[in-house]
Structure 1
Amino acid sequence: MGNLDFSVVFARWDMIVQGMYLTLKLTTISTVFGFTVGTFCAIGKRGPTKWLRKLCGGYVEAIRNTPLLVQIFLVYFGLSSLGLSLNAVTVAAVALTINVGAYSAEIMRAGFDSIERGQIEAAETLGLSRRQVYWHVILKQAMERVYPALTSQFVLLMLASSICSQISAEELTAVANFIQSDTYRPLETYVVTGVIYICLSLFLRALFWLLGLALFKRRRKLEVFI
């Protein structure tokens, strides 16, 4: 333990901060767009259109049964083969969005299925369209019921973003890899990186907890988030 020297790691703190920023940026973009994709996919899986149900179901199964790293490589090399030259950060955001979208779809589908049929029938009796039923009756209640599962998935997404270092997206793990190769201090580097990931996870969980309090007034007194 006496040979440990963390000073060489903290001397590159500006690089670490930039890596943290990119990690949070990727997480935010992927969370927003992934949740949107997942919600529409969940609606599609429960819809009356057969081909759309199969398309959404195939997408969910394909993503859930392949490794994230393979998905990133498929997006990275697939877009290149189509002549689309995108930077690593954009490719990483697209791949993470596709990944978390599939998992969000299954979580939201479970939330939709938990809504009592009587509420939906009552809304239809009032003359609400299918879109209005989802917007005014189903969506918020479903989100409230699966909110802890959603937030856990988004925190896992932040941790999984470390794989994006494989395509040279300079997020936190990529920065750590560079620092340890430059300083020859792998233990110190990854100890600091691990602590930072723990702090980021706790920060996101606290942020989602506050967001839950703002969105779901009925549950404020229960304090059952996360």
Structure 2
Amino acid sequence: MSGFPDGGEKIQTSSTHLLTKTDIHVSVTYSLGKKMIDITGALIGIILLSLIFFIVAIFIKLEDPKGPIFFKQVRIGKNEKPFKMYKFRSMVSDAEERLTELLKHNEVSGAMFKMKKDPRVTKVGKFLRKTSIDELPQLINVLKGEMSLVGPRPPLPREVEEYTNYDKQRLLVVPGCTGLWQASSRNSVGFKEMVELDLEYIKKRSLIFDSYIILKTIFILLGSKNAY
């Protein structure tokens, strides 16, 4: 597990830019406020978006009646604890099995996989991804306490296997539906830049900063051409 070793003041990494206990520590006010915002925001979101959930489910089933509506994928959360993250299914049913043959076409650097013209994406899925509607079921993960509205994106287990100890610092906090990376550049930066943005978020966390990231994400989604 990641974390601070007993008696140590810093995470043992190969980099000189290390997070200290002071960087990780947050006030009780922030912790309680963030939890309240997460629960309230997720509940309101699910209620207000329930019609969209229903319509999306219909279109997914019309295109692929045999496939599931939701896609559950194991992700790595705080302190490297795995959990199942929910999304609307935007790919063919055997997408995971076909991933190996597509890894050589990865369009981002580092321990991530992104492919703009991924052949596994369905017609409905292209729209869901473009608008990020496929991400909405993660509000369920927020209610379960596995995710927050704001935080580093939860990586896949195979991605974490490639992490250095420095990279693993981004796993010291609860992952989020959106974060400084998404609010800044979406898919236009590489893995190393994403890690730096996540660590910057960890050091600057506050209720005001979280609110700013949420608002910035909304504006980016409304006009983004980088979501895929």
Larger radius of gyration: 1
- Relative to the length of structure 1, the TM-score reads 0.26
1 or 2, which has the higher strand percentage?
Answer: 2
